[in-house]
């Protein structure tokens, strides 16, 4: 890991997506989470304060050591126990049918093979388990799409591999979930190129 990705990027992400409107999006997404939870791409732990009391255990996975350091500090400050793993979402180190819920927020964009990561999410979910996600990606507006494609090289450079034009719906629906519910909207106070959000729930058969 470079100094930028290990030290600067984690703090930059914290500043950009720890705003009141982002807090509201997280709260709305996580309100119904329960049981044993896995969060992929957990980052610095911005979701931690918003997990409800019905959550039994929290396990996190993130390949960035700098993110994991910040998450450890945040979990200690909040008094929330987290089983942290430094690993990729494309190869999860757990048996099939381990978790009641899997959560990802602003994560899929930075995973090189997002479809493989979703296959892993599907695998580790228990029957009837739910995948809850809040992800940014490809806008339906052709003009915005054009700029997303143009800006991808810069976004990948400064965003730790993050891409602007991920087809979130297509990635989620690539797995045989029993049902997929998605709400799409633009994030407040965010450029449309970076703020087209997909928030939803996919349920394993």
pLDDT per position as a tens digit, 148-186 = 999 999 999 999 999 999 999 999 999 999 999 999 999
Instruction: Give the pLDDT confidence of 18-38 residue by residue, as tens digits.
Output: 899 999 999 999 999 999 999
Question: What's this model's pTM, rounded to 2 decimal places?
Answer: 0.95
Average pLDDT for 64-75: 94
Q: What are phi and psi of 197, to 5 degrees?
A: -105, 145
pLDDT at residue 12 greater than cutoff 90: no
Helix 9-16 × helix 65-78 angle, to 10°: 50
Average pLDDT for 71-97: 96
Average pLDDT for 36-63: 96
Domains of the chain by residue range: 3-203
Q: How far is residue 11's CA from residue 53's CA, in Å, rounded to a whole number?
A: 28
pLDDT value at residue 85: 95
Q: Which CATH number fits domain 3-203: 3.40.50.150, 3.40.50.970, 3.90.480.20, 3.40.50.1010?
A: 3.40.50.150
Coil, helix or strand for 46? Answer: coil
Average pLDDT for 196-203: 98
pLDDT at residue 1 greater than cutoff 60: no
pLDDT at residue 66 greater than cutoff 80: yes
């Amino acid at each position: 890991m470079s100094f930028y990705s290990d030290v600067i990027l984690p703090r930059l992400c914290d500043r950009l997506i720890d705003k009141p409107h982002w807090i509201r999006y997280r709260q709305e997404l996580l309100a119904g989470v329960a049981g044993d939870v896995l969060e992929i791409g957990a980052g610095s732990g911005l979701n931690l304060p918003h997990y409800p009391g019905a959550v039994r255990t929290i396990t996190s996975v993130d390949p960035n050591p700098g993110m994991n350091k910040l998450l450890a500090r945040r979990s200690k400050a909040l008094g929330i126990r987290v089983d942290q793993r430094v690993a990729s979402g494309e190869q999860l180190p757990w048996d099939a049918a381990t978790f009641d819920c899997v959560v990802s927020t602003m994560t899929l964009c930075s995973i090189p093979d997002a479809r493989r990561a979703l296959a892993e999410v599907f695998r580790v979910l228990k029957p009837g388990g739910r995948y809850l996600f809040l992800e940014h990606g490809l806008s339906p507006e052709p003009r915005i799409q054009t700029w997303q494609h143009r800006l991808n090289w810069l976004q990948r450079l400064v965003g730790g591999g993050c891409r602007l034009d991920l087809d979130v719906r297509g990635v989620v629906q690539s797995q045989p979930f029993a049902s997929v519910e998605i709400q799409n909207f633009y994030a407040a106070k965010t450029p449309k190129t970076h703020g087209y959000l997909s928030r939803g729930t996919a349920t394993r058969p």
